[in-house]
Amino acid sequence: MLATVMLTVFVSGASIYSSASLESRAALRYCGRMDGQTGMDDFAAMAGSAGGRLDLILRSFARITGQPLASDAGALWSAPFAVLAHDTQGPPRFFYANARALALFKRDAGAMIGLPSHLSAQVEAREERAAMFARLEADDVVTDYTGIRIAADGTRFRISDAVIWNLRDEAGALHGQAARIDRVEALS
C-alpha cells in the first residue's frame, strides 16, 4: 500500500489519499523530492549502496541499545526520524541515509552516497564532532549528541539528543558508524 500511494503522489502530484494511514502520510512527507526524483528511486539507490550493511544498521542498534530501530528496511526508510551511516574509509563516506535524512540534508541519494561525512558539519563544528567520535570509540554508543549540521543549500540546523553508534557485526568487526536523529531545530 505504501509504495502504491508513494508512486501515485510522486507521479501525479495528487494529494495524499484519505485511505493512507498516518504512518504512510508521515513517510510521504519526508519522501518528496524537489528535483523530480521519486522516493522509490532513492530507496533503491540507498538499499543498493548499503547492501548487507542495511541489516547491520538494524541489528547493531538493537544489540547496543536494547531497542529496535525499525522492523525492516522499508520501515527504516520511511521512519519519522533521520538515520545516516558512514563507512570506515578515510575520510568516512556516507553509504546510507533514509528519506528523512535526505530531506534534512536536502540531497538525493546520488548526492549523499559517497559524500565524506565530515562535510555534513560546519567547519567550526568539526572539533565537537571529533570529540563525540572519541567518546564513541570508548563506549560504542553516544546517546546525547548535539551538534550543528549543514544542508546542501547551506541552511544550518541543530540536532539534539542524537544517538550515534558503532556498526559492529556479531564478531565485533567495525563497519562504520550510524546516527539516529529525532530532534532537529532550524537555525537562521
Check pLDDT > 90 for residue 131: no
Say which CATH number the domain at 77 has.
Answer: 3.30.450.20
Domain count, the chain: 1
Phi-psi region of 13 (alpha: psi -120 to 50; beta: other; left: phi over 0): left
Using CA atoms, how far apart are residues 164 and 61, in angstroms rounded to an integer? 9
Q: How far is it, in rounded angstroms, from Cα 34 to Cα 141?
A: 34
**pTM (2 decimals)?**
0.78
pLDDT value of position 125: 73
C-alpha cell at 114: 559517497
Closest CA to 180 of 57, 71, 87: 57
pLDDT digits (tens, 9 = 90+) for 87-116: 999 999 999 999 999 999 999 999 999 999
DSSP 93: B
Distance, CA of 5 to CA of 3 (rounded, Å) = 5
C-alpha cell at 38: 521519486
Is residue 73's pLDDT more than 70? yes
Percent of the chain whose predicted confidence (pLDDT) is above 90 = 68
- Helix or strand (DSSP H, E) at 18: none
d(CA 90, CA 116): 9
**Which residue, chain included where needed, has cell 503522489?**
9
Residue 40: predicted pLDDT: 83
Q: How far apart are CA 49 and CA 102, in angstroms?
A: 14
Contact 8, 17 (CB under 8 A): yes
Q: What residues make up the domain containing 26?
A: 2-186
